[in-house]
Structure 1
Amino acid sequence: SCLQLGLERFHGVCILGFNSAEWFIADIGAILAGGFAVGIYTTNSPEACHYVAESCSANVLVVENHKQLQKILEIQHKLPHLKAIIQYGEELKEKRPNLYSWSEFMDLGRDVPDTQLHEIIESQKPNQCCTLIYTSGTTGQPKGVMLSHDNLTWTALAAGRFIMLKDAKEKQELVISYLPLSHVAAQMTDIWSAMTFGVQVFFAQPDALKGTLVDTLREVRPTAFLGVPRVWEKMEEKMKSIGAKSSTLRRKVASWAKGVGLQTNLKRMNGHSEVPMNFHLARHLVYKKVRKAIGLDRCTKCYTGAAPITRETLEFFLSLNIPVLELYGMSESSGPHTISLPHVFKLTSCGKEMTGCRTLIHKPDGDGNGEICFSGRHIFMGYLNMEEKTREAIDEDGWLHSGDLGKHDKDGFLYITGRIKELIITAGGENVPPVPIEDAVKGAIPLISNAMLVGDKEKFLAMLLTLK
């Protein structure tokens, strides 16, 4: 269907909508037809949509509904390469030239001979770009991260094997697709790893992050689940508020079980294998019921990533015998680089690098803190039409510079300690890393949801605070 619309090699097919089967089909179809698959955030303004669509010379735009269509119609006249718009989530409310419903789009390809598609597929090389992930920088417009066929397929297999995802022939893994597919983390888990291992994917409701996710979790009971820190924090808040309303006896039992759970799991984390009797009792009385209530009773792989998570939240879930494991990476590394495992993890660490990847701590200070650099087959090709930015990111030895500060402990676990660009240099010349101060304030004042230290080039420091 993309070919019938005149999709040219290395031109974009932009997809603007919530996670759905049509999103996956449009993405994979664009790649097989020789174009670039390009996700656009549903929250983007018309101007932000225009920037992405223009920079990837989009031939085709796929939108979910009338609301998203309006954004594109507003900027259509400024997209010289655009040949067609497809709307998939609801019936078209208006007829326009080159505007198609999903069923009309599917019908377009019926008369295109298979040989034409096969020739394009055969001509594609593993090292050619097939996907663009637009990542926001601290300054200026988003950069188009070019990922190759090999980046995606190698990373999906390497990450899946590393976390011991089972192949569908052995055991059916289940995941929920709800995080934005324009983000590399969701694409890697929901599309590429799922295809590689035959994982069954369930689509959440579009309002998942506004509260319906727990209902979907209970219904699906996934075997693997990736949540950004805010998802875990919301679950924690909900569970605490429900717990506060229960009877005194129940609260006492829960408090006892959480104490046992945290101590046992911390010992287990440090290599102790013996499990006390009271842990088995607590599992029967509390942990199993909690897991079932939030739909994680079958989940053996609970992950968090994309942003820092607090130790308090990690300990809360660990006390309920739900180890939430951290992973770390970036769009430029096709998603993951280091991953924690159920039997190999440390609280607040991002784990160890995946098999086949290497980590370098660049110019470490006296405490071992330096810039985290990556190397491996998961490293991106470069930024679309931004050679200078690419040279800034990848040095002459092939190391990708993350811009994050971190260090390894004696066992090889990676810890993120801050951002290079975040370093505040006051008017007095003092170098102030803001993250430890922000974390200390958030730890001391439970009412605070976020804290931001400011004062670069100033003679004083100030802090912006938001309430929960």
Structure 2
Amino acid sequence: MSDTQTLIDSRPPSVATLFIDRVAATPDGEAYRYPVPPASGQGPDAWKSLTWAEAATRVYAVAAGLISLGVRPEERVALASSTRVEWILVDLGVMCAGAATTTVYPSTNTEESAFILADSESRVLIAEDAAQLAKAREARAELPHLRHVVVIDPAGAEPAKGDPEGWLLTLAELEARGAEHLAKNPDVITERVSAITSDQLATLIYTSGTTGRPKGVRLPHDNWSYMAKATVATGMINADDVQYLWLPLAHVFGKVLTSGQIEVGHVTAVDGRVDKIIENLPLVRPTYMAAVPRIFEKVYNGVASKARAGGGAKYKIFQWAAGVGREYARVSQDNFRRTGRASAPLGLRTKHRIADALVFAKIREAFGGQLRACISGSAALAPDIGFFFAGAGINILEGYGLTESSAASFVNRGESYRTGTVGKPLPGTEVRIADDGEILLRGPGIMEGYHQLPEKTAEVLEPDGWFHTGDIGELSQDGYLRITDRKKDLIKTSGGKYIAPAEVEGQFKAVCPFVSNILVHGADRNFCTALIALDEPTVLGWAKENGLGGRSYAEVVASPKTVELIAGYVERLNEGLQRWQTIKKFRLLPRDLDIEHGELTPSLKLKRPVVEREYKGLIEEMYEGSREA
């Protein structure tokens, strides 16, 4: 048996056990860094640290506090908060109490929050602030199981008339209560953790879904113990790493990152404020970080926009460097595939050195100068953007998984990564491609099933453990997976041709530096069209240089000049497509798509039915009078 297989097979029943072991092994090692805004509200944040022992003090106090409130094993504790160090400490506290965390995005509206809390039968809600408390208070009549709300940031979160006695606590009060309980029952945490079985529920994550009510995905403790061991077994992370963690921890992707960190014991800097990423990177100087493709697209568009603003000569240098970087990355990866060594011809190496000095070194410095790799997931990254960053010395390792598979089923690793693929399966995960191209998975990361939905579970999970992902993909002979589209998102034109819209959309994002979101439409139509939303800072920068300065975003996108600009990029896109894939008409949207309007999921995936319904008028307009076209 290989060392990797032994590592996975010998996993403990829970991450709670791994956490206790980590604290015992490196109590004085740095575990977490987190920002503390200045009291005045002015000036830079101060960053503080927690050692593993200090983190454990708080984790065990949270766990004991929950136990003192009567929370029993597998009972749900909901957590509605943005990404912050308290999220991790509370989640670990829930696990050490033997309970299960129900994750809730802070952006979730009152109605859906109430549904999640009710469906999960959550006994306690850990709410980030007064805004999250208000949602629970408004829906309290629908939540008979909810006994307590614990607020992390107490500002403005005052008891209200009608609150049951003891219903509202602060996190500080919960921890103080837990410390008191521990003093009287010093073995309570050890007893709870040692009683956890691998099949016991640890996490209930509700899929954001593109249609209908979200489904609660039941992920037992063994899923996370396996993920901790399997991600480390890939060799992607080590004890000397510094991770920058800003992804939503309510999302399954973030949960994997916290599990692997506990296994190896490296430092994680935690700050979920997306508007602070650029500012934080030079301060944190991470060696790795995870993100969704939209972040890399934004960085690429921002770099291109800055170069364009610097004048024609500067922009030409950027375009030249970008082309050299992409070619260098492609050639290096091809050679590694053939020979096991990433190499390029002397002439290309020379050009790349010049491009690096002129452009790429500055990009790496903006990322903190220590970044070894980025992990990308949740949606497909346009290969041209992946090759650009690879050429810049920032390897974007795409991975693949779903909430139902604990997020990480495939991942690229080290020098063997291949842009345009999601890599190879994690050790211990099996894959099969069905006759219709659907990806099937089996292994220790697969969910137990959907919460209280046996019929929905049976639709996707076979009795022998094979899970139907709903994604279409291709496996190379040496095991690399390429995702082509969601099975349900494949478009069949009225001419009988199948089109993968995500593939076309990804190509356009690589071609057009102004795009933010794009939806390709064409099901049962005789040609394809597109709804395009532009990146506001980038297009307003262009507008200022082209006689449209001072106008709003909506006014800029309505301008014939802007339509002509984007039409040029659509033509470039069409040059590389099959005839039936080409975009015959498009419309620019009056605003960008966003989470608030329900058009994107919290992980920034496009909700196609929502967008198509909202902009039905624009879609129909593009097909008017063209039935025979």
| Post-superposition CA distance 1:24-59 (Å, at most 9, x none) | 121111122121111100110111111111111111
Describe the shift of the 1:451–1:255 C-alpha distance in structure 2 as closer, same or farther (beyond 3 A): closer
- For 1:46-445, list aligned pairs within 5 A: 46-96=110-160, 97=165, 98-112=167-181, 113-167=185-239, 171=240, 173-189=241-257, 191-204=258-271, 206=273, 208=274, 211-246=275-310, 254-271=318-335, 273-274=342-343, 276=346, 278=350, 279-280=352-353, 282-284=355-357, 286-295=359-368, 297-364=369-436, 370-425=437-492, 431-439=498-506
Cα separation, 2, equivalents of 1:387 and 1:219? 48
Q: Which has the higher strand share?
A: 1
Residues 257 and 320 of structure 1 are in contact (CA less than 8 Å); yes or no, is this contact kept in structure 2?
no
Residue aligned with 2:218, SS: strand
Partner of 1:3: 67
Q: Percent identity?
A: 30
Q: Give 1:430 deviation, angstroms.
A: 6.1
Cα separation, 2, equivalents of 1:151 and 1:81? 27
Q: Give 1:186 deviation, angstroms.
A: 0.9
| Post-superposition CA distance 1:73-109 (Å, at most 9, x none) | 1112211111111111243541353211121111111
Q: Write the letter of the residue equivalent to 2:117.
A: A
Cα separation, 2, equivalents of 1:220 and 1:408? 37
Residues 134 and 182 of structure 1 are in contact (CA less than 8 Å); yes or no, is this contact kept in structure 2?
no
Residue aligned with 1:418, SS: strand
Q: Give 1:455 deviation, angstroms.
A: 5.5
Deviates more, 1:79-88 or 1:264-273: 264-273
Cα separation, 2, equivalents of 1:193 and 1:187? 9
Q: Give 1:15 deviation, angstroms.
A: 0.8
Confirm whether residue 451 of structure 1 aligns to residue 524 of structure 2.
no
| Post-superposition CA distance 1:355-402 (Å, at most 9, x none) | 2211100115xxxxx001111111111111111111111113311110
Q: Which has the higher helix share?
A: 2
Q: TM-score with structure 2 length normalisation?
A: 0.67
Q: Give 1:132 deviation, angstroms.
A: 1.1
Q: TM-score with structure 1 length normalisation?
A: 0.89
Residue aligned with 1:186, SS: helix
Describe the shift of the 1:438–1:313 C-alpha distance in structure 2 as closer, same or farther (beyond 3 A): closer
| Post-superposition CA distance 1:182-222 (Å, at most 9, x none) | 10001111x2111111121212253x2xx321111111011
Cα separation, 2, equivalents of 1:460 and 1:430? 10
Residues 248 and 272 of structure 2 are in contact (CA less than 8 Å); yes or no, is this contact kept in structure 1?
no
| Post-superposition CA distance 1:113-149 (Å, at most 9, x none) | 1333333222210121111111133432111111111
Deviates more, 1:311-320 or 1:175-184: 311-320
2:85 to 18, 21, 30: 21
Describe the shift of the 1:301–1:458 C-alpha distance in structure 2 as closer, same or farther (beyond 3 A): closer
Residue aligned with 1:8, SS: coil
Residue aligned with 1:421, SS: helix
Residues 265 and 319 of structure 1 are in contact (CA less than 8 Å); yes or no, is this contact kept in structure 2?
yes
Residue aligned with 2:193, SS: helix
Cα separation, 1, equivalents of 2:372 and 2:171? 37
Partner of 1:367: none
Deviates more, 1:317-326 or 1:56-65: 317-326
Number of equivalenced pairs = 454
Q: Give 1:244 deviation, angstroms.
A: 2.2
Q: Write the letter of the residue equivalent to 2:422.
A: C
Deviates more, 1:279-288 or 1:178-187: 279-288
Q: Give 1:423 deviation, angstroms.
A: 2.9
Describe the shift of the 1:242–1:131 C-alpha distance in structure 2 as closer, same or farther (beyond 3 A): same
Residue aligned with 1:212, SS: helix
Residues 265 and 321 of structure 1 are in contact (CA less than 8 Å); yes or no, is this contact kept in structure 2?
no
| Post-superposition CA distance 1:435-466 (Å, at most 9, x none) | 44545666676654333344556787654333
Confirm whether residue 42 of structure 1 aligns to residue 73 of structure 2.
no
Residue aligned with 1:175, SS: strand
Q: Please, which runs of 5 or more residues in structure 2 have no aligned partner?
A: 1-64, 337-341, 536-629
Cα separation, 2, equivalents of 1:149 and 1:13? 15
Q: Give 1:5 deviation, angstroms.
A: 1.2
Q: Please, which runs of 5 or more residues in structure 1 have no aligned partner?
A: 365-369
Cα separation, 2, equivalents of 1:185 and 1:52? 19
Cα separation, 2, equivalents of 1:100 and 1:418? 46
Describe the shift of the 1:94–1:241 C-alpha distance in structure 2 as closer, same or farther (beyond 3 A): same
Cα separation, 1, equivalents of 2:118 and 2:205? 14
Cα separation, 2, equivalents of 1:125 and 1:264? 50
Describe the shift of the 1:289–1:137 C-alpha distance in structure 2 as closer, same or farther (beyond 3 A): closer
Q: Give 1:321 deviation, angstroms.
A: 2.5
Cα separation, 2, equivalents of 1:69 and 1:2? 18
Deviates more, 1:436-445 or 1:263-272: 436-445
What do you get for the CA RMSD once the two structures are aligned?
2.5
Describe the shift of the 1:426–1:281 C-alpha distance in structure 2 as closer, same or farther (beyond 3 A): closer
Residue aligned with 1:114, SS: coil
| Post-superposition CA distance 1:308-347 (Å, at most 9, x none) | 2212322322332322221111111111111112311222
| Post-superposition CA distance 1:284-309 (Å, at most 9, x none) | 554333211232x2111212110122
Q: Write the letter of the residue equivalent to 1:388.
A: E
Cα separation, 2, equivalents of 1:445 and 1:91? 44
Q: Write the letter of the residue equivalent to 1:376.
A: G
Describe the shift of the 1:138–1:243 C-alpha distance in structure 2 as closer, same or farther (beyond 3 A): closer
Cα separation, 1, equivalents of 2:415 and 2:360? 19
